[in-house]
Chains A and B, each alone.
Chain A
Amino acid sequence: MNIQLSVNSKTLNLEMPSDTTLLKVLRSEGYFGSKDAKCQSGECGACSVIMDGQLINSCQILAAQAAGHSITTIESVGEMPSQGWKITAGLDVIQQAFMESGAIQCGYCTPAMVLAARLLLQKTSNPTRKEVQKALSGVLCRCTGYHKPVNAILNAAAILRGDAKPGDLDTVAQQVTPASETKGFTTVGKSAVKVDAQKLVQGNPAFTDDIELRGMLIARVLHSPIAHARIKSIDTTRAKALPGVAAVLTYKDIPRVIYSTAGQSDPIPGPLDTFSLDSTVRFVGDRVAMVAAENEEIADKALQLINVEYEELPILLDSTRAMQPGAPLIHTEPEYVNFADSDPKKNLAADIRIDIGDVEKGFSEADRIFEADYEVPKVQQAHIEPHIAIAYWDEDDRLVIRTSTQVPFHARRILAPVLNLPVKRIRVIKPRIGGGFGGKQEVLIEDVAAHLTIATGRPVKYECTREEEFIAARSRHPMKIHMKTGVKKDGTITANSMYCLTDTGAYGCHALTVTGNTGHKSMALYVGDGLYRKKPNIRFYADIVYTNHPPAGAYRGYGVPQGYWAVERHMEKIARALNLDPLAFRLKNALRSGEMQPFSTTWSEGREPRPEMVQTVGLEKCVESGKAAIGWNEKYGNKPWHVVKGQPHLRKGIGVAAVMQGTAIPYLDMGAASIKMNDDGSFNLLIGATDLGTGSDTVLAQMAGESLGVPVEDIIVLSSDTDTTPFDKGAYASSTTYISGYAVTKAAQDVADQIKERAAKMFQEKGIEVNADELRLLDRNVKTPAGQLVSLNDVALNSLHHIDQKQIMAVASYVSPVAPPPFGAQFAEVTVDTETGQVTVDKLVMAVDSGVVVNPHTATGQIEGGMSQALGYAVCEEMTYDDKGNPNERDFQNYHIFRADEMPELNAIFVESYEPSHPYGVKAVAEIPMDGVAPAVANAIYDAVDVDIDQIPATPERVWQAMKRKTQKL
């Protein structure tokens, strides 16, 4: 049909099928700011546009419906002010505010938020915080917790009213108590605007899907409807015959190569148990076949024409049965490659047995023993941008894979044998990513696009739908955890023991390492006091079993949130039973500066363990700061505070959790950087490190800028291309700031030395006698002690063009012998309905010691966003299955993630320590906010209504059941 659309005051005359959504039309016309997140029923809002003055989802409306209406997209809102000789009106005030307030993380939802803000500020010039939150309610964000976007809009409103100037209202610096060693830093420690903020706030085509390749096919995957079956027969004749279908592949058509999808270093620390396509399906959602066709509709029709006959096999969904004799076996393939103690004949993907000290002796010395069981659910990373990969042959017959990945180098290495290509003939490029959170630390779908490109010779795009994210992607490992702890009457822990039964699902990606971290980080925090502090007694045993659930994988926190759910609930119970102050009890037994990380002698992820002293432990200061921020002393133990006036069925409560995480994996994680100087004194920084929206490109640029004496805008960052950037293991294990940052600093210092050498000669030619090591790089200049200057611009021209020409550049790598942990104190305030069990979380405060904060905006953003994800883990998120293994949650309607106008108050505080093992004193920040929210909320529920919640999420029914059990006991 022919229609006419008015987009940004421009008339488009278009011919299209009736079925075409407005979103599809906009993107095909080059309006890439509206994102196609494949949510299919409008929950995420990433595709938002304005139609006749209202924010709508362009995926939910046919283009034909939009005819006769006025459509406005982000592309009309603002643009780069200077474009060579063309000067534009520049960016909108709202866009500037988003950039300068640190409100942009991955940027996938940013255009939608900007449009929402414009509409609001057209209606009211002085909106309240609640009104701003309501305006953003239709746009889901998984990165920011909405905190800074709301602040950005309030700031923009104030600027438009004339009540403030840009930068006036930024209070983030107040959230950081700096370490004294950071005085004198010019770039590190400052809230530099993210290097990618400008393109993201304009909706420029920066994501994987934002390209069009001639002849590109669309891939779709046929998923198994059965949890466990052998494929008896599969007939693709009718599918292949459908006009527009270019290829249909089954297990019969591609090489049978066993691998692991886990994006980890070589050798993969886990069993190899996966094929791109197999003759056995092991969960509802497992792959059966793949199709490439001219468009989505034809590809979907082709899937329906594939005829599959299944021989159903017994299903295993209960992890407690997995290792029992007679349990259905998930992996019987002869190609299975074991790792460590994996044993597919027992459905065992991995096991862990760690004993530190003498736990039995410790129990015998205790005055009391506390035992309890805890359970954590399967939950989804729920990044708003789905998994997406585009593969194509380039002009040199090399396979290029453009993909939303956290691990480009691992992806290349892992795919090579699967595709029967050498590594050197594969190039992996990571553009901007719309969130990862561990879900993209996986070689999940790149093989689909690649196999189909090999089969057809054409570019192929495969993007998961939202349903596929729920049924066929990865998740956090669910666990059943048993704790046993011995304590003396004075609260000294004499022995601490944890047993985990982990359900890794149908495949063992990340099976060993996630659960290893559960013990390694959560059980390491409490060593005991007195003699026990010197020789702690800790046991950590775990069995990680296969079932016919979808596989679990990496999710931010990586086993540690699961561990702290159990540990911090358990510590709370002990403190209350002994009538001890919960904070004092924790601090009495917690690790202190100068002590050994107790697990460092017994376990390391993928390498031999080596003893490690923990040099900086800011836990006590975190507790003090967090207490003050939430008003702990006024609330805890204060009975009147717990009562809600006029509403006798409501009770308030306050709770805490202490946590520690890790910073990279010692002797394993490596990052590298290359820096070259340009003619104008700017620098190209090439890094393999992967920015997921975390801001790592910016933070690494800041570290480079600190050594080179230039602002961030003079560092052009190119990242995550296996052809052009040096190796980096990728974005996981909270390593980028520390490991990649160290490599960047080394390279920058090398470049700085070369600049100083050249500058010294230039000074000498002017008759100024000075040694290179006396010079400083500052404000784009090289400066002598006497204050004479030569600009970096002049140094660059001298070096590249004038005399003894050479390219000033350097490459450096770094792998660390230590993994200095960050620490945190998480506080929660709740209101509980004592009749229904409904829990409202009113406030979350987290105080963190993550070493020196390189960028307060990005760092506080990590805490705010992490807390909001962890909040879902605490109260509402859960992936459940029926008795045949069918998933119940397949979209964001049934799997609820928090929206802007239901968020509690968030407060992120940094108490800096200076970690001496890093040139800028940094530690990690990205994962620790996931660890403590759930136990802090449950501890607050206990404080409110005196019941134990030992399984999350703390749904109304679970809280109600706990209250009912308590009443029945009485």
Chain B
Amino acid sequence: MIVEYFRPNSIKEALSLIGRDTPLTIPIGGGTSIRQKSRLCDVSVVDLQDLNLNKIECSKDWLEIGATTTLSALEVNKEIPEAIREAVQLEGTTNTRNLATLGGRLVSCDGNSALITTLIATDAITVWDENRKEIPLGEWLALPSDKPGKILLSIIIKRNIILAWEVINRTKLDLPILCVAIARWNSGRVRVALGGFGKTPQMVFDGPDGNGAVQAAENACRKADDFRASSDYRREMAGLLTRRCLARLQG
């Protein structure tokens, strides 16, 4: 149950509330997934909507997306890479995306998130708290439950990349059975992320070029069985979708 609601005007105020020992106090952006958590235990919530964390700032080299930017705002902003704007359409319905935020999605995502898959591929950086501590997204997700950082401020994506993604689902708007996102840097570096199963999407390959990416993607699906698909299928499709993405990046 949600026992307290706060709407602070500063990050400092928000941090001091979140830092309390009890009750469990959680920041919310859109708050679309807080009710699942609050069914399990009593929580206090700190609403970040007045902290101006919903800006999208661009420079020549990077894109910084504020943590409380809604998913629908991401979808329509042409500065955001097209693959990310497409992937975000699988993050719940349009209504949900009008409320749900990038930060909220990141901290509550499961393996099905196409959006987080594409962000992992880009080697996005998460920025936390007043001191703007930077942690690579892939690393942050891979950490066990007691993760560092209390308030996500933004995510930074480098702009010197091209990004492609592919998805398999039962219907166009269904959860992914498998999605593959690949980013390629001007230097030739290739980074591959997979989603559609497991606890979170995962980075499966990061190399100076694409050699070995297909095998790495296939290997990552060795134990990818669940009620929605078998590991055999995901394994074959991981290889196929990786090849398709690489071909599009070359084209």
Contact = CB atoms under 8 A, between A and B. Distances in A.
Contacts of B30: 60-61
B82 interface: no
A43 interface: yes
B187 interface: no
B93 A137 contact: yes
Contacts of B171: 875-876, 896, 898, 902
Contacts of A170: none
Max chain B CB contacts within 10 Å: which of A56, A57, A135, A955?
Answer: A56
B32 A836 contact: no
Interface in A4-48: 18-19, 21, 40-43, 45, 48
A957 to B, nearest CB: 4
A19 B3 contact: yes
B213 to A, nearest CB: 18
Contact of A297 (B1, B92, B174): B1
27 contacts: A18-B2, A18-B3, A21-B35, A41-B32, A42-B99, A54-B72, A55-B95, A57-B32, A57-B99, A60-B31, A60-B95, A60-B96, A61-B99, A64-B7, A64-B47, A134-B94, A138-B98, A140-B93, A840-B172, A888-B227, A894-B175, A896-B173, A896-B174, A899-B173, A902-B173, A957-B177, A960-B233
B170 interface: yes
B211 interface: no
A41 B99 CA distance: 12
A138 B169 CA distance: 19
Nearest to B94: A138
B164 to A, nearest CB: 16
A547 to B, nearest CB: 18
Given A65-B31, A902-B172, A955-B170, A48 B177 contact: no
B230 interface: yes
A880 B230 CA distance: 14
B2 A48 contact: no
B161 interface: no
Contacts of A882: 227
9 closest A-B pairs by CB: A138-B95, A138-B94, A876-B170, A138-B93, A18-B5, A902-B172, A19-B2, A888-B227, A54-B98
B168 interface: yes
Nearest to B170: A876
Interface in A55-94: 55-57, 60-62, 64-65
A134 B173 CA distance: 11
Nearest to B3: A18
B33 A55 contact: no
B50 to A, nearest CB: 9
A205 interface: no
Given A896-B171, A957-B230, 15 more contacts: A19-B38, A41-B32, A41-B35, A41-B36, A42-B96, A54-B72, A56-B99, A57-B99, A62-B47, A65-B47, A138-B94, A836-B240, A956-B233, A957-B177, A957-B233
Nearest to B98: A54
Contacts of B168: 836, 838, 956
B237 interface: yes
A893 B175 contact: yes
Nearest to B50: A68
A921 interface: no
A626 interface: no
A529 interface: no
Max chain A CB contacts within 10 Å: which of B3, B94, B233?
Answer: B94
A921 to B, nearest CB: 39
A777 to B, nearest CB: 49
B62 to A, nearest CB: 28
Given A19-B38, A957-B177, A42 B94 contact: no
A19 B172 contact: no
A844 to B, nearest CB: 14
B92 A896 contact: no
A134 B1 CA distance: 34
Contacts of A360: none
Interface string A550-577: 0000000000000000000000000000
A956 B170 contact: yes
A894 B111 CA distance: 13
Contact of A956 (B2, B49, B175, B177): B177
Nearest to B32: A60
A352 to B, nearest CB: 32
Contacts of B233: 956-957, 960-961
A743 B171 CA distance: 44
A436 interface: no
B142 interface: no
Contact of B93 (A1, A42, A61, A961): A42
Given A45-B95, A957-B233, A137 B31 contact: no
A60 B7 CA distance: 17
B4 interface: yes
Contact of A880 (B49, B93, B227): B227
B81 to A, nearest CB: 21
B93 A899 contact: yes
Nearest to A64: B5
Contacts of A40: 35-36
B229 interface: yes
Interface string A464-485: 0000000000000000000000
Interface in B181-220: none
Given A42-B95, A57-B99, A875 B5 contact: no
Interface in B86-110: 92-96, 98-99
A605 interface: no
Contacts of B177: 956-957
Contact of A138 (B31, B96, B229): B96
A901 interface: yes
Nearest to A839: B170
Interface in A278-299: 297
Contacts of A957: 177, 229-230, 233
Given A43-B92, A61-B99, A19 B173 contact: no
A836 B177 CA distance: 11
B197 to A, nearest CB: 13
Contacts of B3: 18-19
Nearest to B7: A64
A61 B31 CA distance: 6
B198 to A, nearest CB: 15
A885 to B, nearest CB: 13
A19 B31 CA distance: 12
Contacts of A901: 172-173
B173 A875 contact: no
Max chain A CB contacts within 10 Å: which of B30, B32, B47, B170?
Answer: B170
B170 A953 contact: yes
A835 interface: yes
Nearest to B72: A54
A137 B94 contact: yes
Nearest to A3: B5
A705 to B, nearest CB: 40
Contacts of A135: 94
B175 A896 contact: yes
Nearest to A841: B171
Interface string B1-42: 111110100000000000000000000101111011011000
A896 B170 contact: yes
Max chain A CB contacts within 10 Å: which of B32, B36, B39, B99?
Answer: B99
Interface in B41-78: 44-45, 47, 49, 72
A901 B39 CA distance: 32
A838 B98 CA distance: 29
A56 B45 CA distance: 20
B170 A55 contact: no
Contacts of B95: 42, 45, 48, 55-57, 60, 138-139
